[in-house]
Amino acid sequence: MERWEGQNLPEEPAIALIANDALGNFAIANLVAQALKSRYPDCGLDYYGGSRTLELEESCDLFTWRFSAYGAPFSETLAAASERPKYVLVVNIESGYPSKALASALAADYVCGPCLAPNARGDWDFPADERGDLWRDRAWIARGIENRYSFLETPFIGEMFVKLCYLGGERGAPWPGGIPRYKFPQRPVSGLPDVLISTGGSLPEKLWPVQKWRELLESLNARVGLLGAAPKRQQQFYHSDSDETALVDAGLAEDWRGNLSLPEVVGALEKAKLVITIDNGILHFAAANEVPTVGLYRRDFDRLWAPPNPNLARLTPLQGDVDMIQVDAVFGAVKRLASV
């Protein structure tokens, strides 16, 4: 196995892509997958993901085969992988030990991204080039990071990962940095309100207080739909079940949580006139069709995680976490962005 630094691969290479099953991480993997398919249109692209993004993985025409590596015993993942063609390239965009171990165990000709060293003693260092320097950089949210690396045009994490894989920068690409727009599988769905919100996130510091959501929705005086995982999954992953239930019980939002498949969520967002959400997967889904969106971010994290949707209004607190963003600021962004 060698470190991949953009070397040419044979025709129709077998490639593996490893990512975890958080919705936002799947969005970034989606860009990497598109870039791989653009460079190697006839490649076989296998995806190692997980149960939370299963519906998207199974419907995504970018992938030849997929397996839920997250949540499965490592031995089962390796057994499944042993039935696949030998990989020419493994791309891993996750830094956790299981992903690094899998990248190493797949024993491809080349590997890109975090990986255990060939002698299994610690991590394998990244290439001694500018991209390797970015892999080693621990301050991706730093202001002006795009000015420190000659291959970057924006600080968006999607561009970073595409370029870290020695891909992208394509002339005529719809988003800055020469990267594609998200391409998520979607199914049409009708009956949802024109205004859709999502309040749940994987980290408590991403959340906006329920009282502020109440004040905002009362001010909007519009039919609003609440998107998200079913309440039990919200309790497990997204920290917002009781707050969301309070909004529904108050008659401020219609409860669509858990009633749609993920491709249907993408389809519903495509028809929306306005989306209001914290920094989560819903925001990335809305960006696929450049839907008008108000996104609430932790300070400095908007530079890294905000997709270059031209219709995205990014709000961050002057200090503190998302709970410090004022209702008036969100309402003002709504009025500037859309008529509801």
Q: Identify the burial level of 264 via C-beta atoms within 10 angstroms of its C-beta, where 0-12 means exposed, 13-18 middle and 19 or more buried.
A: middle
H/E stretch holding 44 = strand 44-50
**pLDDT at position 239, please?**
54
The answer to whether 182 touches 307, Cβ cutoff 8 Å, is yes
The length of the chain, given as a count of residues? 340
CA atoms of 207 and 243, how far apart (whole Å): 10
**Four-residue CA torsion sign, 312, 38, 18, 89:** negative
**pLDDT at position 230, please?**
84
CA atoms of 295 and 313, how far apart (whole Å): 6
Q: What is the mean pLDDT of residues 178-190?
A: 96
Q: What is the mean pLDDT of residues 44-55?
A: 97
Q: Identify the burial level of 188 via C-beta atoms within 10 angstroms of its C-beta, where 0-12 means exposed, 13-18 middle and 19 or more buried.
A: exposed
The answer to whether 90 touches 13, Cβ cutoff 8 Å, is no
Whether the per-residue pLDDT at 1 is higher than 70: the answer is: yes
- Provide the token pair at 172: 């005529």
- Provide the token pair at 146: 């795009």
CA atoms of 27 and 25, how far apart (whole Å): 5
Q: What is the mean pLDDT of residues 94-123?
A: 94
Torsions phi, psi of 45, nearest 5? -115, 110
Task: Give the Å distances, CA to CA, from 99 to 27, 92, 105, 149, 340.
Answer: 17, 7, 10, 26, 44
User: Could you tell me the strand order of the sheet in which 254-255 lies?
Assistant: 254-255, 224-226, 195-198, 274-278, 293-296, 312-315
Q: What pLDDT, in 10s, does the model give residues 281-339? A: 999 999 999 999 999 999 999 999 999 999 999 999 998 899 999 999 999 999 999 76
User: Residue 110, CB half-sphere, CA atoms under 13 Å: how many?
Assistant: 18
H/E stretch holding 89 = strand 89-92
Please, which residues bridge with residue 68 across strands? Answer: 49
- Provide the token pair at 334: 């709504």
What residues have CB less than 8 Å from 209, skipping those under 6 apart? 243, 323
Q: Give start and end residues of each alpha helix (H) in 20-69.
A: 23-39, 54-59
Which residue bears the tokens 């889904």? 285
Q: What is the mean pLDDT of residues 190-212?
A: 95
**pLDDT at position 297, please?**
97
Q: What pLDDT, in 10s, does the model give residues 214-263? A: 999 999 989 999 999 887 665 555 455 688 999 999 999 999 999 999 99
**pLDDT at position 229, please?**
86
CA atoms of 217 and 248, how far apart (whole Å): 11
Percent of the chain with pLDDT over 70: 96
Predicted confidence band at 206 (pLDDT cuts at 50, 70, 90)?
very high
Q: What is the mean pLDDT of residues 23-30?
A: 97
Q: What is the mean pLDDT of residues 151-171?
A: 96
Q: What is the mean pLDDT of residues 56-77?
A: 96
- CA dihedral angle for residue 76, residue 30, residue 21, residue 256, rounded to 10 degrees: -130
Predicted confidence band at 109 (pLDDT cuts at 50, 70, 90)?
very high
CA atoms of 334 and 340, how far apart (whole Å): 8
